[in-house]
Amino acid sequence: MKGAALETDIWKIRVQLTKPVTWIPLIWGVACGAAASGNYVWNDPKDIAQLLACMMMSGPFLTGYTQTINDWYDRDIDAINEPYRPIPSGRISQQDVIIQIWALLLGGLGISYGLDVWAGHEFPIMLVLAVFGSFISYIYSAPPLKLKQSGWAGNYALGSSYIALPWWAGQALFGTLTPDVMVLTVAYSLAGLGIAIVNDFKSIEGDRQMGLQSLPVAFGVDTAKWICVSTIDVTQLGVAAYLYWGLGETTYAAVLLALILPQIFFQFKYFLPDPIANDVKYQASAQPFLVFGLLTTGLAIGHMNQVAAAAASSGAL
């Protein structure tokens, strides 16, 4: 951080490169997927151990890999804008960064395959998801695609990787990942796109100078702020409608609706009047409601799966 004393311990620098705060959404997403499977038993030691291993794979390993590779490919820009970061400040050697990237990637892939074996999967779905996620991470940061340079593609990659991918991992580990849930979570990721746009308001000038087409740069602040809140709200309202009318999960739909209303309140209180000054205040106030909405949806799908399994087994008797 600017002005703060710079860390010199190599292990603390390594952890700093992985940005631990960014592991949290992935870890949460895995829990939502486990809930959605309908099979996760909260006090079963084996389930707990598998869940923790899956969270470890998604958070410290694969998100850690993502963040390290992102800082690696941004090292020249960071040398100008944020020279105090670990790589441009020279506090970690380039060779050590490369070793860290490979160690986290191979560690994450190794855990994913271990989970496939442990869960007795015939098809290595966890490994496939981990390879796919790592590929998205790579093209997000690395040239020639460098998705982060494009407002829509970069933010959607971010939103879907934080919402859909870890959910899929949690659900595939404990149950079956079905096409309807894949479509639902890919759609839910549009809310993640909206959340990612919120973060773009703080860096409009820098992005413009660097030629990054973030949505506030491309459309201007006023249009971008409405695109942002519309994607967040319409997506979640759509999911609530699907829970209510599509799945008949009326209680969960009502809870989700109750969690959307405070987000709209905070949009009008903080974000819409001044998205540049109030972006952090808005995220801090509204995001907890969004993430609990995600869990509510996972629980609703899990409940539906349990009811379907009970009906199937009573029909088989």
Tokens of 72: 């690696």
SS3 call for 213: strand
**Residue 67 within binding range of ligand LFCQNMSN, rule CB under 6 A:** yes
Stretch touching ligand LFCQNMSN by CB under 6 A, among 133-141, 180-188, 233-241, 303-311: 133-141
**Distance from C-alpha of 210 to C-alpha of 215, rounded to nearest angstrom:** 14
**Residue 215 within binding range of ligand LFCQNMSN, rule CB under 6 A:** no
Q: Give the residue, chosen from 101, 105, 125, 148, that forms a contact with ligand LFCQNMSN under the rule CB under 6 A.
A: 148
- Nearest to ligand LFCQNMSN of 119, 258 (CB atom): 119
Q: H or E segment at 310? A: helix 279-316
Stretch touching ligand LFCQNMSN by CB under 6 A, among 55-63, 115-123, 270-278, 301-309: 55-63
**Distance from C-alpha of 301 to C-alpha of 249, rounded to nearest angstrom:** 8
- Nearest to ligand LFCQNMSN of 153, 264 (CB atom): 153
**In the complex, residue closest to ligand LFCQNMSN by CB:** 133
Q: Evaluate whether 180 touches 305 at the Cβ level (below 8 Å).
A: no
Stretch touching ligand LFCQNMSN by CB under 6 A, among 57-65, 117-125, 253-261, 277-285: 57-65
**Distance from C-alpha of 267 to C-alpha of 264, rounded to nearest angstrom:** 5
Task: From residue 48, give the alpha-carbon distance in Å to each of 26, 34, 45.
Answer: 17, 10, 5
* Residue 118 CB contacts under 8 Å (≥ 6 apart), including other chains: 50, 53
- Nearest to ligand LFCQNMSN of 172, 256 (CB atom): 172
Q: H or E segment at 271? A: none
Q: H or E segment at 85? A: none
Q: Residue 121, Cβ neighbours under 10 Å: how many?
A: 16
Best CA proximity match to 173, nearest among 64, 40, 29, 300: 40
Instruction: Give the length of the chain.
Output: 317
Count CA atoms closer than 13 A to 280's CA, side-chain side.
3
Amino acid at 96: D
- Nearest to ligand LFCQNMSN of 43, 123 (CB atom): 123
**Residue 216 within binding range of ligand LFCQNMSN, rule CB under 6 A:** no
**Residue 137 within binding range of ligand LFCQNMSN, rule CB under 6 A:** yes
**Residue 140 within binding range of ligand LFCQNMSN, rule CB under 6 A:** yes
Site string for ligand LFCQNMSN, 11-50 (x = CB under 6 A): ---------------x------------------------
Total number of residues binding ligand LFCQNMSN (CB under 6 A)? Answer: 21
Stretch touching ligand LFCQNMSN by CB under 6 A, among 36-44, 161-169, 181-189, 262-270: 161-169
If you search the block for the tokens 């994913």, which residue do you land on? 112
177 secondary structure, DSSP code: -
Q: Give the residue, chosen from 62, 127, 197, 255, that forms a contact with ligand LFCQNMSN under the rule CB under 6 A.
A: 62
Residues within the interface to ligand LFCQNMSN (CB under 6 A) = 26, 58, 62-63, 66-67, 70, 74, 129-130, 133, 136-137, 140, 148, 157-158, 161, 165-166, 169
